[in-house]
Structure 1
Amino acid sequence: MVRIKEIIVIYTLLNCVFFVPNLAYIQIEIINTDGPPEILNQVYDGESLELVVSHPSEQATIGVVECTPKHGNLLVVTKTEQDDLRARFKVKTKRIGNEVISCVENKTYDSNEMRTSEYSTEQQQEIVIILEPTWLDPIFPYLGAAVIVLLNVLFGTEISLKDIRFILMRPKPLIAAALCQFVLLPPYGLGVARLLGFEADIALGVLMVACAPGGGISNTASYLVEGEVPLSISMSFFSTAIAAGTMPLNLFIYGRFISDDPSFTAGNIPYGTLIQGLVAIALPVCLGMVLIAKARKMTLAVKKYAKPVVLLLLLVYISIALYKSSFAFKLFSLRDYLGGCLLPLGGFVLGGVASLILQLRCSQIKTISLEVGMQNSMIVVTMTNFVFDPPQSNLNSLMPISIAIMTMLVSIPLFIVHLLAKKYIAKYRDVCDENKSEQLRQRQKFEGLGGTIRRRFSSVSVSSRGHPNTKGGVTGVAVDPTMDTIPDEEEDEFTRKNDQEKVTVDVNEKNQTHL
């Protein structure tokens, strides 16, 4: 009885070994005439390729084969023919991206005269859909880097150490902006990407913009709504400087959550290259500060001719970017436009709420809100072209392009509201004037208004009696002979009077200009 059981077991094992086929038995051959000749699994957007599914042995018959894409929105697979030896499929691409095609063979196998068995084998093939290269592709990343470097050098010449010291002496606005930009906005950007269900590469673009420093356009926007331009410039400088550390850190923290796709992890992001690029972007700002501090006359003379050249390069770069990004407008859907609106609007709200909590004045609230909401999408587009290869670089830049466009559009109503409120609401107009007066008072106090009076007091001959002496000095003043400043109470009173007179003159001049 035992021997019979042993024979049955041995027979079953032999049957499994010799009669059950290998699960990786089919093979996939790619016939690609519409892609790079050196890489068979890459195909240009809008083109086609052919898949041929067969067995390694030419005499082996093949079962029924079906091929289906993993995502379904990147390409269409159609069976063209099948015989006993092979099955052919036509693959038509719809848009750029990475797709995986799964081919499954189903076959009934006659294992012996007494029974038949059904089995299926599966083989997967990755297809990479890219944009057809143009002569602009090698130029574009370097042109973008050159424009950003030159702009940041010019930007640095607008900043002085005095401005930085002035901001650091009153750090509450800077703290509010940094808290919103580098602590609150990245998880908000992650939430937008998850809420709208972007695929991994597109969602990474949203997160990169949310982690990026503030954009230079926020300085212009602050000027248009009567914010505090020096504060905006200083915040842009600090955010650009510290983004070399905070942007990779935030991408490492939140990058692992942007997609449920197991093939994408936070390790897919090349942090070393990213840090190098961000440092290279921040250094020109410091160079501009050094030039304006050490060689002011020469720098101002060069700036007169450099600004038109940089403006021309910027226009050329924007034109090339729009041409290269034409694919994005074909891919944009309502979801992409919605994501482009939600990120800047969320930044405006976060900046405004944080400023209100810290009880900042109205002009600072407007400045911080714009600084947080207007992230530097241009840096992200340039970085993705350096850090990633196609099609990831194209997909990563899809949402930064949308965000840049929608930021401009959602900002226009804010400017219109400011203009209408300034014209028709007297209380808002008074608040704007009071903010200007407060800015002027703080700046004058910081720069030592009344220095002439302090020097006059320090040159006075001081004695112990209270009548003029023969040298024209004043005697009997109850002050320390070594004191070179006027008392704080008198200086504050003088400052307030002088501020009020200057603000009144400024307002009268502005009214005369309008008249």
Structure 2
Amino acid sequence: MAVFKDFALIFVFILNFKALEVGGSYNITFHPESIEGQVENQDRDVFYNYTCCYSNNTSINIQSENTGIVDIIRNRTTLFTDAAIGSVIPSSFTIRGNRLGRTTLRVTIHHVPPEQSCSEGGKTPCITKGELVTRYRVAIIREERVEQTIFTVGLAIIVIILTVMMGCSVDLKIIWEVLKKPIAPAIGFLCQFILMPLLGFGISRLLRMESGLGLGLFVVSCSPGGGASNIYTVLLNGDLDLSVTMTFISKIAALGMMPFWMWALGHVYVQDAQITIPFANIGYSLLALVFPIGIGLLIKRFSPKVADFLAKGTKWLSLFFIAYVFSFGIYANLYMYRLMGRQPEVILAGIMLPWVAYGLAFALAMLLKQGVKRATTIAIETGIQDIAIALIVLQFSFPNPEADLAAVMPIATVMFTPLPLVAAFAIISIRKIVITRANKSEMRDIVEDETKSQTENSYYIENSNTEKKIPSIYCVTPICENNITKDPYALGSRL
């Protein structure tokens, strides 16, 4: 027993010694401790102090883990020669922010034999046995522009007004009638708030997207259904009452479901950034966007004429919203489109999320025997997300660069969401035209056949009448003049 105790003490001593050796061998302190808010396309010096632990030559190498975001432009490698043990040696390096994003710098130490030299700047390799000391966090943001602030505020105002108008156009009686048969709305809820978030999370992990971009895709997938779904439901012969009901329910349910999914899986996207998910801000943003529905319902209850007037303007304000996003929005957020060109996974994710959602939701609804009409509606409601809510939640809840980086995904998604629906509408329209023309041709043939048949019948009738008159005519002759009878056929038979 005593031998075992002595062995345990020796083992613990060895572990502690190794920990002291590894943890205390190198001491590097940085100023600033990390960089948050470095503006893109600008340079910045980072200073550090290295406490020397070896008498022989040592080099410190700084390497960016994502050179697309940050690059080291000066003193990537620094050689320390013949420094006394315990001495503190100051040094520095310079970084350049290339684009919006967040990354880390790897700081490694290499022991250089006395006979090997190393030139500053890293042109001559001095790698023997490198050891990772620490990582240095860097966040690059965009330069603040007045245009972006105006766009964000304008977007929020338009969305709030549209939400009030939606409340004015909602007929609670229709929603109640739909909810009396809750299977279809329940399937829609399942697709909207279970299938979609898991799909968005899976796509972001499959494509190995940057944390900010993945966060944007995930927030889009957790968002409620968009108002455009009602329009496409009509165009594709879906169930409009079910569509309106699902849109209304998803707006209300988003108050709880979006924070739930951010709590469940959102931390995956922000753990590297060492930021916390702002649940309070998310809740306030959602409440500010959903509360206007209640205002619209109250207007409809106490002032139906005003509600009808506002409801009629929904279409035009929706068109203005689309024009606003894709005109002034593009001008104010050109970085989004540049980022799409540099990051092909952004385009791919923007295509995959809505298109795969259409297919999965339609298949699930058909599997549960909802019929083509309702399955089409559920698929449309699932695939079309309210990007305005996603944008506002991201812009008003998260810090930069996460907010700006994540905001790229709602725009990328909305660009590709309607394409399958437009294609389906075109196919349906062409099919209707072909069937209509075929029916017209068939009807024309039927009319022609009937006309021909009527003509032939008329001909036979006329000939029949003529034949009846012929005997009497032939009977009026000198030969049979005296044999005229009232029955021409009898007379004819005598002839």
Partner of residue 223 from structure 1, selected from 208, 228, 234: 234
Q: Secondary structure at the match of 2:71?
A: strand
* Alignment of 1:276 onto 2:276: no
- Deviation string 1:403-431 (CA, Å, 9 cap, x unpaired) is 111113343222222222333358xx9xx
Aligned counterpart for 1:331 among listed residues 332, 336, 339: 339
Q: 1:425 to 1:372 in 2, by over 3 A?
A: farther
Give the residue type in structure 1 aligned to 2:63: T
Aligned with residue 216 of structure 2, among 202, 205, 224 = 205
Query: Which whole-Å deviations, capped at 9, do the CAs of 1:162-208 have from their partners, x for residues lacking one?
Result: 21122112323212211111122211221111111112221121111
Read off the aligned partner of 1:283 and give its amino acid letter. Answer: F
Q: Does 1:102 align with 2:112?
A: no
Structure 2 equivalent of residue 66 of structure 1: 61
Aligned CA distance change for structure 1 residues 364 and 303 (closer, same or farther; 3 Å): closer
Specify whether residues 52 and 109 from structure 1 end up closer, same or farther in structure 2 by C-alpha distance, changes over 3 A only. farther
RMSD: 3.8
Give 1:263's aligned residue: 272
Residues 53 and 86 of structure 1 are in contact (CA less than 8 Å); yes or no, is this contact kept in structure 2? yes
Taking structure 2 as the reference length, the TM-score comes to 0.70
- Aligned residues of 2:168 and 2:299 also touching (Cα < 8 A): yes
Which of 296, 300, 304 in structure 2 is aligned with 1:296? 304
Q: In structure 2, do the counterparts of structure 1 residues 121 and 24 end up closer, same or farther at CA, with 3 Å as the change threshold? A: farther
Matches within 5 A, 1:336-355: 336-355=346-365
- Determine the C-alpha separation between the residues in 2 that align with 1:269 and 1:100: 20
Match of 1:247 among 258, 262, 265: 258
CA distance in 1, matches of 2:142, 2:435: 53
The secondary structure found in structure 1 opposite 2:102 is: strand
Instruction: Show the 5 A alignment for 1:167-182.
Output: 167-182=178-193
Q: Which residue of 1 aligns with 2:244?
A: 233
1:88-124 residue CA offsets vs partner (Å, 9 max, x unmatched):
43322222112222333445699xxxxxxx9968354
TM-fit CA distance, 1:398: 1.8
Q: Given the superposition, is the C-alpha separation of residues 304 and 29 from structure 1 closer, same or farther in structure 2, using an over 3 Å criterion?
A: same
8 Å Cα contact 2:104/2:138 also seen in 1? yes
Identical aligned pairs, as a percentage?
23
2:168 matches 1:160:
no
Contact 1:212–1:375 (Cα < 8 Å) also in 2: yes
Contact 1:23 1:121 in 2 (8 A): no
Q: Against the structure 1 CA distance between its residues 134 and 159, is the aligned structure 2 distance closer, same or farther, given a 3 Å change threshold?
A: same
Residue 322 of structure 1 deviates from its aligned partner by 2.0
Give unpaired runs (5+ residues) of structure 2. 1-16, 81-88, 115-128, 440-495
Between the aligned partners of 1:109 and 1:235, the Cα distance in structure 2 is: 71
Cα separation, 2, equivalents of 1:140 and 1:168: 38
Equivalent residue for 1:114?
none
SS of 1:227's partner is coil
Change beyond 3 A, Cα 1:285–1:63: same
Distance 1:314 1:341, change over 3 A: closer
Give the whole-Å Cα distance in 2 for the aligned partners of 1:355 and 1:307.
29
Report the CA distance shift for 1:411/1:311 in structure 2 as closer, same or farther (over 3 A): closer
TM-score by length of 1: 0.68
Q: Give the Cα separation in 2 of the matches to 1:41 and 1:172.
A: 49
Q: Give the alignment partner of residue 89 of structure 1, picking from 88, 93, 116.
A: 93
Whichever residue aligns with residue 26 of structure 1, its letter is I
Letter in structure 1 aligned against 2:71 = V
Tell me, in whole angstroms, the C-alpha distance in 1 between the residues paired with 2:154 and 2:63.
Answer: 41
Report the secondary structure of 2:146's partner residue.
coil
Matched, 1:393 2:395: no
> Do the aligned residues in 2 keep the contact of 1:244 with 1:279 (CA within 8 Å)?
yes
Distance 1:306 1:216, change over 3 A: closer
Q: CA deviation at 1:48?
A: 2.0
SS in 2 for 1:163: helix
Structure having the higher Rg: 2
* Amino acid across the alignment from 2:366: L
For residue 45 of structure 2, what is the aligned residue in structure 1? Answer: 50
CA shift at 1:283, angstroms?
1.6
Q: CA deviation at 1:137?
A: 4.1
Query: Is the contact between residue 106 and residue 132 of structure 2 (CA under 8 Å) also seen in structure 1?
Result: no
> Is the CA contact (8 Å cut-off) linking 1:213 and 1:240 kept in structure 2?
yes
Looking at both structures, which has the greater relative contact order when contacts are Cα pairs under 8 Å and sequence separation is at least 6? Answer: 2
Kindly provide the CA deviation profile for residues 61-84 of structure 1, in whole angstroms up to 9, marking residues without a partner as x. 984221012344322213448575
1-side partners of 2:330 and 2:209: how far apart?
A: 22
Q: How far is the alpha carbon of 1:310 from its aligned partner? A: 7.5
Query: What is the rounded CA distance, in whole Å, between the counterparts of 1:385 and 1:411 in structure 2?
Result: 29
Give, in whole Å, the separation in 2 of the partners of 1:172 and 1:21: 60
What is the CA–CA distance in structure 1 between the aligned matches of 2:191 and 2:310, rounded to whole Å? 36
Q: Does 1:360 align with 2:370?
A: yes
**Alpha-carbon distance between aligned partners in 2 of 1:310 and 1:225, rounded to the nearest angstrom:** 19
Rounded to whole Å, the distance in 1 between the matches of 2:410 and 2:226 is 12
